[in-house]
Structure 1
Amino acid sequence: MDWFWLMVWWFAFVMYLVVLFQIVADLFRDRQLSGWAKALWMIALIVIPFLSGMVYLIARGRGMGQRQAEQMSQARAETDAYIRTVASSTPATSPTAQVSEAKALLDSGAIDEREFAALKAKALA
């Protein structure tokens, strides 16, 4: 039975740490809160951690969720923009263009007939 209660306490402690780290991250993410207010919240979280954590979640929990959602949507938009730029930098060529490029390589002597046939079959596949 001691192991069970040990696991319960460890679970509670880890959950407290997760909430505490979320609160600290939200404090530094909030642009509307002044530096002095952030410092006071940090002091409160160090001196009376459980009480100040609960007060923070009750008083600023809704804004905390909104800031997290904004950060996630901004990260998604940045990722989508990056993917669009990478995808557009290598435009897909048509099979006809690929065959003509292979023919140009064949005519210049860079590849032989066998390689040309392989590139042509790959482009038309």
Structure 2
Amino acid sequence: MNYPLLNLFWTMLWLFLWILWLFLLFKVITDIFLSHDMGGWGKAGWTIFVILLPYLGVLVYLIARGKSMGNRDRARAMKAEGDFQDYIRKAAGTENRDAGARHVDELARLADLKNSGAISDDEYRAAKSKLLA
């Protein structure tokens, strides 16, 4: 086997760059189709440009729409995070708690403060009567 180490390095580098290029190409194509600020003809034009002249098309797309591409990614991530947090709140049962459950939690917190000595008995009674009124 006669394949020098430097040739192996160059082959691995080109393979890595080719895979990186494929990821970038698919990212751009995905962004084209997920973009809500572009009409059908615009999406068709960008897709044809990116497919027929891939290197130039992706480069021009990144120059022309790269900043908004990042903003759209950030907005999608924030929406996904918000949806996930809403799901957790709903699953935990803290989304639509009634006033009684909140009063119970507040009374427990007041009792903990009294037991730890952070508030006096008089302050505890005043806060409790205010909460229950």
1:6 pairs with 2:22: no
Q: What does residue 123 of structure 2 align with?
A: none
Map Cα deviations across residues 34-59 of structure 1 (whole Å, 9 max, x no partner).
11111111111111100010000010
Q: Report the CA distance between 1:28 and its aligned residue.
A: 1.1
Any residues of structure 2 matched to 1:85-96 within 5 Å, and which? Answer: 85-88=90-93
State the Cα distance separating 1:19 from its structure 2 match.
0.7
Q: How many pairs are equivalent?
A: 92
Matched with 1:55 is: 60
**Corresponding position of 1:69:** 74
Counterpart residue number, 2:115? none
4+ residue stretches of structure 1 with deviation over 3 A? none
RMSD: 1.8
Residue 35 of structure 2 aligns with an amino acid whose one-letter code is D
The Cα of 1:77 is off from its aligned counterpart by: 0.3
- The one-letter code matched in structure 2 to 1:74 is K
Q: So what's the TM-score if we normalise by structure 2?
A: 0.65
Q: Which amino acid aligns with 1:27?
A: I
**Aligned 1:1-125 pairs, distance under 5 A:** 1-88=6-93
Match of 2:109 in 1: none
CA shift at 1:24, angstroms? 0.9
Aligned counterparts of 1:31 and 1:63: Cα–Cα separation in 2: 11
1:77-96 CA distances to partner (integer Å, 9 max, x unpaired)?
0000000000017x9xx9xx
Q: Which amino acid aligns with 1:45?
A: V
Code of the residue aligned with 2:26 in structure 1: it is: F
Which consecutive unaligned segments of at least 5 residues does structure 2 have? 1-5, 98-103, 105-133
Deviation at 1:32, TM superposition (A): 1.1
Aligned to 1:115: none
Code of the residue aligned with 2:58 in structure 1: it is G
